[in-house]
Structure 1
Amino acid sequence: MTGDERGDLTVETAIGVTALFLLLGLGLVGIRVMVADAAIDEAARSAARAASIARDGHAAAVAADRRARAVLAEQHLTCVSLDVVVDAADFAKPFGDTGYVVATITCDVPLDDLAIPGISGAKTLQAQFRSPIDRYGARS
């Protein structure tokens, strides 16, 4: 091997380090999204359960919203935009009939604070959970 065929170690190192940082950055984004997705799933479950023990549809929506926000705060997840939608139409069903409350949580998870070049904005994540309403519980 002659001296002319060798690569420049400085250039190779710069390319390698840059590639390593990009992979690390993508890994951080992936972890952020996975953790946020789990927190939003838990918030939807908890919101639906809180709504299912309410007395009426309005109280169910209020309880679900409060519980979802509390769970996300406990998980230290900040959403750029948070939307809690509760389908509580089954509260109108007569006693003894099976009904469900459905809570849907939509959260825009920020990626800007990771400070990774080329990655900005937010990732929209959504979770939905259905919980049965107490068939013989007090309803208004």
Structure 2
Amino acid sequence: MPRTRWGVAQGDAGSAAIEAAIIFPALIMFVCMAIAGGRLVTSGAKIDAAAEDAAREASIHRTVGAAQDAAHTAATESLTDQGIKCASSSVAVDTGGLSVPVGQVGTVTVTVNCTVNLSDLLLPGVPGARTLESTATSVVDQYRQRGNE
């Protein structure tokens, strides 16, 4: 094969473009998958923190109504403060520990659900959103007075 001035065989012209056309889509897809995985992991950790904040806040209130309101507010504020934008979210509060008699240990459990949007990544095979759930439990002070509703 005749060689050009730079020592490259003329028959190899254009092969770099073909290699790039094969490699770049796979590379871009890999980067997008890494971003999606990172988004899910960091969002999961932040949702865990929101559930812990909500459970802690609910456990210090004396009435069921106040505990539920405080848990919803704490979870929403925690998600907002951490920059999590949920497509939809819900907070479920189990305040059974507030009804145990004073002197006995009770717990409050909060479950936070958050739907994380992935549709902006435009990856084939990746769902447009993924719902993440986190549950946290906090102990109610056994000697704290409890109110009735």
Is the counterpart of residue 68 in structure 1 residue 96 in structure 2? no
Q: How does 1:4-83 map to 2 (within 5 A)?
A: 8-83=15-90
Q: How does 1:61-140 map to 2 (within 5 A)?
A: 61-114=68-121, 116-118=122-124, 119-140=126-147
Aligned equivalents of 1:64 and 1:117: distance in 2? 35
What secondary structure does 2:86 align onto? coil
Report the residue type matching 2:49 in the other structure: E
What secondary structure does 1:64 align onto? helix
What secondary structure does 2:101 align onto? coil
Aligned equivalents of 1:133 and 1:76: distance in 2? 29
Unmatched tracts of structure 1, length 5 or more: none
Report the residue type matching 2:73 in the other structure: R
What secondary structure does 1:126 align onto? strand
Unmatched tracts of structure 2, length 5 or more: 2-8
Shift of 1:117: 3.7
Aligned equivalents of 1:93 and 1:48: distance in 2? 17
Task: Work out the number of aligned pairs and report it.
Answer: 139
Aligned equivalents of 2:96 and 2:34: distance in 1? 42
Shift of 1:120: 4.7
TM-score, normalised to structure 1's length? Answer: 0.91
In angstroms, what is the RMSD of aligned CA positions?
A: 2.0
Which portions of structure 1, spanning 4 or more consecutive aligned residues, are displaced by more than 6 angstroms? none
TM-score, normalised to structure 2's length? Answer: 0.86
Shift of 1:28: 0.6
Shift of 1:138: 2.4
